[in-house]
Structure 1
């Protein structure tokens, strides 16, 4: 009886732990005049990598398995932006045996105005399961990290209020 109760209580966690995600990272879309005039800011590329790590760490903490992308690297490299490729992300995720495709973008309009989005879609149907967009002001570590943590907390891993 105790074993049954334990299985009943932990079944959702056990099922979630088996869900596999193909996280294809974030694409930086930069249409700012600053970059046009001064070139790419290396700090932004570092922030992009740090935000991707925040996402990966949070998904792993929540019990998802992030799949290795090397087996489909040639497929991935065919596209500039997997968040806007008419379902290529879910097709590639299916090849990997993933349950979900996870993609996102950071769009820089200026050093003051940026937008972030993250989308989790079912690999088999392409249906949007969860997603979020946030506008941030300021092009610094704190604003980028706070923006993505907001999406994760309020759109992906919302805790039920009791």
Structure 2
């Protein structure tokens, strides 16, 4: 009797199937806004590329998303100079690429010591946020930027179940 009841309950539970595709995520390169007055740092462009790779790899490693970086698509030629000022163009670009979710973000450098990082995941269907992560980081260096992205992945963007 108990076995029959258990079997009936198990049949009623939703189960993922191999046919359920992972949401397709399109990751745009992270950007920087520098209001420190200290001038452009020679490694910022390279660091933004490396940190964007950490973000994309972390989302993929979560097992929840099929991830593509926008720079790996033909859309790379259509990108505006600054995604944060394009008034939602990432949603249209994401739809064009067949993505379910788009990921954008930027680092705001206030000083060499004080920076803030914001990463937003938006659904292309309705433009609403799927996840938002904001973190203050200390230190304008590779280690702190990486730590910020990894923290946001663990706690805001793709936390463990």
What's the TM-score once normalised by structure 1's chain length?
Answer: 0.80
**What is the match of residue 102 of structure 1?**
103
**What is the match of residue 21 of structure 1?**
25
Q: Which has the higher helix share?
A: 1
Q: Distance in 1 between matches of 2:50 and 2:146?
A: 8
CA contact under 8 A between 1:21 and 1:66: conserved in structure 2? yes
Q: Does 1:71 align with 2:74?
A: yes
CA spacing shift, 1:106–1:21, aligned 2, 3 Å: same
Q: Does 1:34 align with 2:38?
A: yes
Q: Distance in 2 between matches of 1:13 and 1:30?
A: 45
Alignment of 1:77-96 (within 5 A): 79-96=80-97
Q: Distance in 1 between matches of 2:62 and 2:132?
A: 16
Q: Does 1:54 align with 2:50?
A: no
SS of residue in 1 equivalent to 2:29: strand
Question: For this pair of structures, how many residues does the alignment match?
Answer: 148
C-alpha displacement of 1:85: 2.1
Q: Distance in 2 between matches of 1:32 and 1:12?
A: 50
Unaligned runs of 5+ in 1: none
RMSD across aligned positions (CA): 2.3
CA contact under 8 A between 1:83 and 1:89: conserved in structure 2? no
- Return 96-105 or 47-56, whichever deviates more: 47-56
CA contact under 8 A between 2:35 and 2:111: conserved in structure 1? yes
Q: Distance in 1 between matches of 2:82 and 2:19?
A: 33
Q: Distance in 1 between matches of 2:102 and 2:19?
A: 20
Unaligned runs of 5+ in 2: 1-6
CA contact under 8 A between 1:91 and 1:123: conserved in structure 2? yes
Q: Distance in 1 between matches of 2:18 and 2:47?
A: 31
Q: Distance in 2 between matches of 1:127 and 1:21?
A: 14
